[in-house]
Chains A and B, each alone.
Chain A
């Protein structure tokens, strides 16, 4: 019985993970002027759906999709994006698009309250309005 429930637990947690991963999206946060992206009409806030038929969820998956095209020597690539709930298709050339992308993840809000090295209490939200890089570090 114990064994069975462990297996069941593992199964359930893997299902949960797959489902959670599918919620991850990547969106365009910057389009360089006079770039391929701006020429074909890509816009900030466009959500990347697929590149060359490969589904885009994370930044890494976009890089992977591009390297597949590099290996297959694909020149013309279909890029599907989602804009205001509508899917839009673009044909782009393999290579630099001139965009900057970041995860789009509405549930990914984080706040931390704690003490600094001098024992003073502060929280991440004290820095709201800033772009924050949070680094987990140790000196050992």
Chain B
């Protein structure tokens, strides 16, 4: 986790909030040793906050390397048409995307999403209210006495 993610994880520590990664390093062994060496915390499940899909290009079992010659576009990031890293989106408790930084596009549906500035991932002022709002609206819906 990088500092801005760590601070979000800290803010929402006791809430039903998780950060999930989609990692696009092409060399997973190099990545793992970097994680160990640089002590990038919790790219695993140890503290439960960030688990990552591995979505590297060349070594991810894609036989047609022409499609991912730079090694960064695995199936997932290709599906979401990621063109810049890092990119992030916020998904609500029903699995629906409610916010995405620029450059995030998904075409599993008729519409494309590109909702906010690229920089907002690192901007707590943008991310915190959205996460907080979604958490609270979820609470209301789940509570036995909504009023």
Contact = CB atoms under 8 A, between A and B. Distances in A.
Interface of A: 17, 20-21, 23-24, 29-30, 44, 58-60, 100-112, 114-118, 122, 124-125, 127-140
Contacts of B51: 116, 122
Given A30-B136, A117-B52, A137 B96 contact: no
A2 to B, nearest CB: 22
In the A-B complex, the 4 residue pairs with the smallest Cβ-Cβ separation, listed nearest first, are A29-B133, A30-B133, A107-B109, A100-B133
Contact of A118 (B25, B44, B97, B115): B44
A135 B21 CA distance: 5
B111 A107 contact: yes
A139 B98 contact: no
Given A30-B133, A135-B21, 11 more contacts: A21-B112, A60-B115, A107-B109, A107-B110, A109-B96, A116-B51, A128-B94, A133-B88, A135-B87, A136-B77, A139-B35
Interface in B41-78: 43-45, 50-55, 72, 75-77
Question: Looking at chain B, what size class is its interface with the partner chain?
Answer: 35 or more
10 contacts: A29-B134, A100-B133, A103-B98, A124-B95, A130-B17, A131-B92, A133-B131, A134-B20, A135-B50, A135-B88
Contact of B53 (A17, A107, A116): A116
B132 interface: yes
Interface string B102-124: 00001011111111110001000
Contacts of B93: 128-131
Contact of B28 (A106, A117, A130): A117
A48 B129 CA distance: 17
Contact of B80 (A104, A106, A136, A138): A136
A132 B55 contact: no
A124 B53 CA distance: 9
A114 to B, nearest CB: 4
